[in-house]
Amino acid sequence: MAGHRALMRTPLGPIQVRWEPGALLGIELEAEVAAPGDAGALPDAFACALDAYFQDGAYRFDLPLRLVGTTFQHRVWRALSAILPGRTLTYGQLAQELGTSPRAVGGACRANPCPIVIPCHRVVGAHGLGGFAGDLSGRKVAVKRWLLGHEGAEPPG
């Protein structure tokens, strides 16, 4: 995808932020280096918003986004954005609200190009934490647990 990239140091380790003028495009949680030729300084609006969140888990993002996805994925991402910091819903609860299946909600969460800003980490399993960004264990699930704790949510099991 086109756009600029920059690494940002966070309590989670470095993340890669992608943007184009006037819009955030995505966040990569497992960033190592910016792609050659398109690295730049992260615009203040994006850097300040992410810093504010990492300082205060109750911070609510209001950033211009340009997200690539299906109509259904955008519908799920809007619903995710409505979940307040410190709150969680299960995949089943969100699916019921949207008139779809938990598996479809999980697929849209996995396709989320802007984790943290679009808070897919606030969707949990009925009997446990559930996965995060396509992983069921490991670093990404530890990131989900950290994000929920940072926001004051009680992570399940």
The reply to whether 120 belongs to the active site is: yes
DSSP H stretches of helix in 11-90: 44-55, 71-81
Note the residue count of the chain: 157
Q: CA 116 → CA 10, 12, 41, 44, 132, distances in Å?
A: 12, 11, 20, 17, 11
* Run of H or E including 97: helix 91-98
Among residues 48, 109, 114, 120, the one annotated as catalytic is 120
Give the three-state DSSP class for 133: coil
Residues labelled as active-site residues: 120
